[in-house]
Amino acid sequence: MRIASVDLVSNTCFPALAADELGFFREEGADVEITLVPAMGSTAALKQNAADAMIAGSVHDVLTEFDHWRGASICVALSQGTPWLLTMRKDFEAERGDFSALKGCTLTAAPGPDLAFKQVLRAGGIDPDKDVEIIDLPGAHGGNVSFGVFAAEGLLSGLIDGFWANAMGAEKASDAGIGKVHVDVRRGDDPGETRFFTFAGLVARDDFIEREGEQVDAAIRAIVRAQAALREDPSLARKVGEGKFPPDSAALIANVIERDAEFYDPVITEERVEKLNAFAQSIGHIGRPVPYEQVVAMRCRELWDR
């Protein structure tokens, strides 16, 4: 089972990495290879049959290649909720969650997450096209680049006032004393219901699910085991990080996972898909709501539903 990912230094999709590093894939009978495909993009790799499945840090990205979910389905949630945080420079003088203070700031976000960021800004009363400048950081999309970690370096250099990325970038900026979290929609800094825009998941091609259903089932069992293990003992993250991450990120990951463990829940409810549909419609990815059974691989549901 070939699984594509655009970023392996990630807390968002960490349960899949943990399932690999802790041996759960092997123990459950899944023959899995996780491959980094930053240049191609994991959704494109899935569409072009260069991968059987993908680690989606935000499942709405799948809709850029699979029209209205035709040909691919979500097999399991890796973590719940819109996963990105807005990290601002350390000397940014504003109360946490104050959107009005962002006016005039220079910010950055990766393609895909930027769509959610702009909607979050709008929900907070900020016009992303007029009130702030959202720039593309040179070099951010090169091979083997973790956007959040790279953006933290941009904060240090003064190129930006803040960045929208996963918690690894926020942790790096905080640990270095150059940044602080200003907006975390999953933890209360949530205008409207933006925390329900999207979530991280394992997505597979429908033809692969039909042909290799037992492999998919085994992979899901391994991921669910990894999520449970991390919730019970977040310190396992250090072992996984040492096997998967660069040394500096491996030293930080345990702190991030200890905070994020509560979100490692495999269940995909019908309500979550309804809210995902609403967000996907708002950014033009779909023209109508897509039925739950077309978004979620129904044979997989019994492996995590409870």
Please count the CA atoms within 13 angstroms of the CA of 260 that sit on its side-chain side: 32
Q: What is the pLDDT of residues 48-64, one digit of tens each?
A: 999 999 999 899 999 99
Confidence of residue 41 (pLDDT cuts 50, 70, 90): confident
Q: Mean pLDDT, to the nearest integer, of 51-80?
A: 95
Query: Domain ranges in the chain?
Result: 2-81+198-301, 85-195
Cβ contact 218:30 at 8 Å: yes
Mean pLDDT of the chain: 91
Whole-angstrom distance, CA of residue 43 vs CA of residue 62: 6
Going by C-alpha positions, the residue among 37, 32, 45 that lies closest to residue 8 is: 37
The second-level CATH assignment, the architecture, of 85-195 is: 3-Layer(aba) Sandwich (3.40)
Question: Do the Cβ atoms of 105 and 168 come closer than 8 Å?
Answer: no
Arch. (CATH architecture) of 2-81+198-301: 3-Layer(aba) Sandwich (3.40)
Reference 242, options 16, 21, 7; nearest CA is: 21
Q: Is there a shared CATH topology between the 2-81+198-301 domain and the 85-195 domain? A: yes
Query: pLDDT, tens digit, for every residue of 122-172?
Result: 999 999 999 999 998 876 665 555 677 778 778 888 889 999 988 888 888
